[in-house]
Structure 1
Amino acid sequence: MARVVGIGKQSFEKIIKEKCFYVDKTAFIKEWWDNKDDVTLITRPRRFGKTLNMSMLECFFSNEYKDRGDLFEGLDIWKDEKYRELQGTYPVIFFSFAKIKQNNYTDAVSGIKRVICDEIQKYIFLKDWDGLTDEEKNNLNNITYGMDTVTAQEAINNLSNYLSRYYGKKVIILLDEYDTPMQEAYTNGYWEELVAFTRSLFNSTFKTNPYLERAIMTGITRVSRESIFSDLNNLEVVTTLSPKYTTAFGFTEHEVFNALDEFGLSEQKGEVKAWYDGFVFGEQKDIYNPWSIINYLDKKKVALYWAESSSNGLINNLIQKGSSYIKKMLETLISGKNIKVPIDEQIVFSELDYSEDAVWSLMLASGYLKVISAEELNMIRESDNEYELALTNREILFMFRKMIIRWFIPAKNETNEFIKALINGDVEAMNEYMNKVTMKTISYFDTGNVPSDEEPERFYHGFVLGLMVDQTENYIITSNRESGFGRYDIMLEPKDKNNTHYPGIIIEFKVINPRKENSLEETVKAALKQIEEKNYDAELIKKGVNKDNIHYYGFAFKGKEVLIEGKNPT
């Protein structure tokens, strides 16, 4: 009989006691302990079992779970006598920054202080221990929700001191979701302030802590060493590209297929693979995200389980308000092709606003992209490594499709009517609906209060993505590719070349140039002339589209004002 699937359970003890579905990851305990690294930072995408594995480590090492070997009976780690003797023998400090999602610095630091205080309250019995001096007991009394910054930054170090003396053994420290406050700080504009606070906290906790046996931090991203880890030269960083712990987080294909067999879903292996496979950790391919798999086992149908388990707000904003280059690259990914870009595993949040390639590093770390191949361009600078990337799987593809559709929700009806007019060749209707679309949505494609010079271009490349999402059943849509003697802006190639209802379409965009043109009318005629002179239709004709069934459109715009004209150069 198949085990019960407990959705959202992150307590190892509870999963084992309630005999819920669990994929044995206890080999991670042995692998980590045998590596003997002082402080380990492990980055994995969200909902990949980081919190559950941290809970597992706590249950295994913490002396609060002494003589609780029953939690590990039958699991991989319990086969080794050496590790049976190790279970429940260390003081463990375990805390998480998962809830630190405040929109300002003051509240974020208050939240961190609360987390630290709550963990220390578990050991309040130390205040009655004769082994502490009066000063140390007073220090414990000062650890409150309202404690000052310095007290908060040194609190875990001091607790490590007291626990190591009380138990006669150095402590193990586990910090889950260390980078959640960092992402919120970047999004809400208090990055520099939080970096200063966190740097001192981490230095005290993980670097200048003589009472530390070992520590693990988990998160989604590897925040740059220069920002919060500048003093931690004892830090072992394990990212999705690293060779360590490749099967400890996420499910391998063998584990997934065994689970499908257990739940009587053996015939769905192909469907599950297409939707949820694709993650690559180090050299280990065919990793599945656990959240989607356990939900599939529970509900027995495909859906965007992992992709919609959070808002994806940061990625959405970076793409929607990013440059036309970013939108073109996403276009390529959505069309099923790969991109080749430099990747720097150290995420510098402060660079996301002006480094176009930083977004790909963040998307790779977050699980939206997978590595196809890598080329080390310079062995000295890690940031010079170039990677060939693709969307991870079908779930991610559909997530991006839905994300793009949402961009145009304010003008959904007008967008639908515009696409109909585009295909039918109704230029008058195209002008009417496109101007309504731009008025309602173009501001969503710019950052800040003052529109940038790139705003129209960002909008139109976002609109190209919208076209791709809506018309992928009927068209192969490309942009900025070579055809004839130049590079067109947009080309819609009908999949069925014999269906005259779906014509080939070529679109050229132009922003009015006041030095050369006096009106949008002149600009749009220049766009149409370029289509003709550059023979942009050559690629469509070569692929079998009848020249008489090709629509040519020039788009001229000035801010939010748009003028469209159509013409057949023949």
Structure 2
Amino acid sequence: MHMAVNVAIGVQDFSTIIENQYFYVDKTAFLKEWWDSGDSVTLITRPRRFGKTLTMSMTEQFFSLGYADRSDLFANLEIWKDEKYRKLQGTYPVISLSFARIKERDYEKTKQKMCEILRNIYIKFSYVKDYEKMTEADRAYYDRMMSDNIRETDATSSLYQLSDFLYRYYGKKVIILLDEYDTPMQEAFVDGYWDELVSFTRSLFNSTFKTNPALERGIMTGITRVSKESIFSDLNNLKVVTTTSDEYATTFGFTEPEVFEALEKCGLGGEKKEVKRWYDGFIFGTHKDIYNPWSILNYLDSQQYTTYWANTSANSLVGKLVREGNRDIKEKFEKLLCGECIWTEIDEQIVYNQLNGSEEAVWSLLLASGYLKVLSYESYLDIGERFAPRYQLALTNLEVKIMFQRMIHDWFVPVKSEYNDFVKAMFLGDVDAMNEYMNRVALQTFSYFDTGERASGAEPERFYHGFVLGLLVDLQGSYYVKSNRESGFGRYDIMLEPKKPGKDPAVILEFKVRSTRKENSLEETAQSALAQIKDRKYSEELKEKGIAGEQIKEYGFAFEGKNVLIVN
């Protein structure tokens, strides 16, 4: 007999979950681990929907004086077994704020939103304004913070000042909790006002967390660890906990025993293997088999397998980086989609303004966002005689793989019929139709794949590697898609090997970008690509697998800007 489990989706307030007896996995051990660590300011990065906001809500409601009479919330939980912590509950002034909702298109609006959040905190604590130890200047400042037009200099020092006011009022230092600190930064990067936002945020963080004598402890959460230089420049008291750190590894997300226990309770014990295939795969520090809680809750609620967490809308940045990525990024993506792993260096500090050029930064962002997992890593001495760790990465799980397949598929939605007609023509050997459709596809989607930063115009490589990813995703039901990545400068080849030889034809494609120095015409480039296939005897490999010669189609592709010429 299984118990009824009442799963609430999207509730991020701790007391609501406890009071209504909604399904809850006890994570109060975090409070003890964090408090015992003694760290003054902690930055914790985790992928989105991993329980960061709920953890912050729990922390606020445990420590805050505003919840001094709410020990009932914790009475049945792990933390309450410890006498020392019972005494701590409800004994600190806590300032709690979140930047989760700040997603504006320009700097002025973003600053306005931030000021609004700060004003609301001032309104919440407005009783301290009338305290007898406040000076006239203090009260004037308080009034300015409650007005509609907050000055930038007041805004950046507002949390520092409020900590001081609360410290005087209560005679106790404050705990400051800032949730989703980097949401506005991702927006600023995508919309191009990064530099302005950085200087504002740097001042705010510096006064709040660095030079604040009234601060007892602080926690910031986010998805990424924004580079120290840009916003934490002087915060040398910052303890950073990323997905590769061991601290708090089991606080965010569900462990496998927690998931399996929940499945048993819901009478879904038989689904363990399939739930694991879809939703397991997150690794925090040395803790493997962490599940994404959002998908698990949704699965328990609806009992359907689908992509709950990896909905593409929330990560337009990741999509943009893969689509506009250079040849190396797209080639590594092919490997990942084929279930292989890649080796790369990672810099966990995300330097947003380098994301367009640096391959390392892209993999680092994908890792921080939860789309990749670290299988292993090795340190080696690089040229500068430093130990540089290389990480072995793979796609996290089936849910993530499906998300990326959909994302790549969507690149070609605007040219769906031309794209499909091209693929049909390719299998039929109709080279005239191939030329016509491929040129239409290129014309309409070319600029998609370009970062728009080079004066010389787009690199065809970015487009055709994107196109290859498209083929890979669309044909993987019936074909093994292999590419030879060693084929030299400006060239690339693909082999489509049928999973059912005899029924479907095999295809070999060689891509080549025209070199104006070496070739007089696009035709010459295309013929040279075709010759390449013959020289390298690619078809021998297929014939050895029992595929007949007439079942093998060979095509040379030549690219120059948006123009494509195909010969066979």
Instruction: Judge same fold: TM > 0.5, yes or no.
Output: yes
Aligned pairs for 1:42-53 (under 5 A) are 42-53=44-55
Which residue does the alignment assign to 1:72?
A: 74
2:118 matched to which residue of 1? 116
How big is the alpha-carbon RMSD for the aligned residues of Structure 1 and Structure 2?
A: 1.9
Shift of 1:454: 4.7
Q: Indicate the residue corresponding to 1:58 in structure 2.
A: 60
- 1:462 maps to amino acid: G
Aligned partner (choices 320, 329, 332) of residue 332 of structure 2: 329
**Does the 8 A contact of 1:246 with 1:282 survive in 2?**
yes
1:354 and 2:362 correspond: no
Aligned partners of 1:10 and 1:270: how far apart in 2?
29
Measured in 2, the distance between the counterparts of 1:339 and 1:86 equals 47
1:199–1:228 CA contact under 8 A, matched in 2:
yes
Structure 1 residue runs of 4 or more that deviate by more than 6 Å after TM superposition: 379-383
Residue number in structure 2 paired with 1:445: 449
For residue 236 of structure 1, report the CA deviation from its aligned partner: 0.2
CA distances 1:480-530 after superposition (whole Å, capped 9, x unpaired): 34599x985111111123x3x322211111222233333222221111111
Structure 1 equivalent of residue 466 of structure 2: 462
1:102 is matched with 104
Please give the per-residue CA displacement for 1:187-245, whole angstroms capped at 9, x wherever unaligned: 11111111111111101000000000001000000001111001100000000000100
SS in 1 for 2:307: coil
Q: Which residue of 2 aligns with 1:196?
A: 199
Letter in 1 for 2:495: M
2:85 match: 83
Match of 2:6 in 1: 4
Equivalence map 1:128-139=2 (5 Å): 128-139=130-141
Match of 2:210 in 1: 207
Q: Which amino acid aligns with 1:434?
A: M
Distance 1:93 1:226 in 2: 26
Structure 2 counterpart of 1:491 = 495
- Write the deviation string for residues 70-122 of structure 1: whole angstroms up to 9, x where unpaired: 10121111111111111000000000011111111111111111111111211
1:266 Cα offset (Å): 1.0
Amino acid at match of 2:283: V
Which residue of structure 1 lines up, in the alignment, with residue 237 of structure 2?
A: 234
CA distance in 1, matches of 2:471, 2:386: 37
Q: Report whether the alignment pairs 1:416 with 2:406.
A: no
Distance in 2 of aligned mates of 1:234 and 1:289: 30
Q: Which residue of 2 aligns with 1:287?
A: 290
Show CA shifts across 1:107-148 (max 9, x none).
Answer: 111111111111121100111111211111111111034211
Q: Counterpart in 2 of 1:173?
A: 176
Aligned to 2:410: 406
Contact 1:483 1:538 in 2 (8 A): no
CA distance in 2, matches of 1:316, 1:185: 16
Give the Å deviation of 1:557.
Answer: 2.2
Aligned partners of 1:526 and 1:123: how far apart in 2?
Answer: 75
Secondary structure of 1:285 counterpart: strand
Aligned to 1:518: 520
Structure 2: 5+ residue stretches without partners: none
Q: 1:241 to 1:184 in 2, by over 3 A?
A: same
Are the equivalent residues in 2 in contact too, given 1:24–1:75 (CA < 8 A)?
A: yes
**Alignment partners' CA distance in 2, 1:383 and 1:301:** 46
Figure out how many residues of one structure are paired with residues of the other and give that number. Answer: 563
Could you say what secondary structure the match of 2:234 adopts? coil
Cα drift, residue 559 of structure 1: 1.9
The equivalent position to 2:310 in structure 1, one of 294, 297, 307, is: 307
Aligned pairs for 1:523-542 within 5 A: 523-542=525-544
SS at match of 1:357: helix
Other-structure match for 1:562: 564
Please give the alpha-carbon distance, in whole angstroms, between the structure 2 residues aligned to 1:87 and 1:39.
20
**SS class of match (2:229):** coil
Cα 1:181–1:350 change in 2 (3 A) is: same
Q: Aligned to 1:505, which of 496, 504, 507?
A: 507
Indicate the larger mover: 378-387 or 3-12: 378-387
Measured in 2, the distance between the counterparts of 1:244 and 1:378 equals 27
Matched residue, 2:366: 363
Q: Distance in 2 between matches of 1:29 and 1:381?
A: 40
Letter of the structure 2 residue corresponding to residue 325 of structure 1? D
How far the C-alpha of 1:4 sits from its partner, in A, is 1.3
Q: Quote the Cα distance in structure 2 between the aligned partners of 1:109 and 1:152.
A: 9
C-alpha contact 2:458 2:561 (8 A) present in aligned 1: no
Question: SS at the partner of 1:358?
Answer: helix
SS at match of 2:504: coil
Q: 1:361 to 1:197 in 2, by over 3 A?
A: same
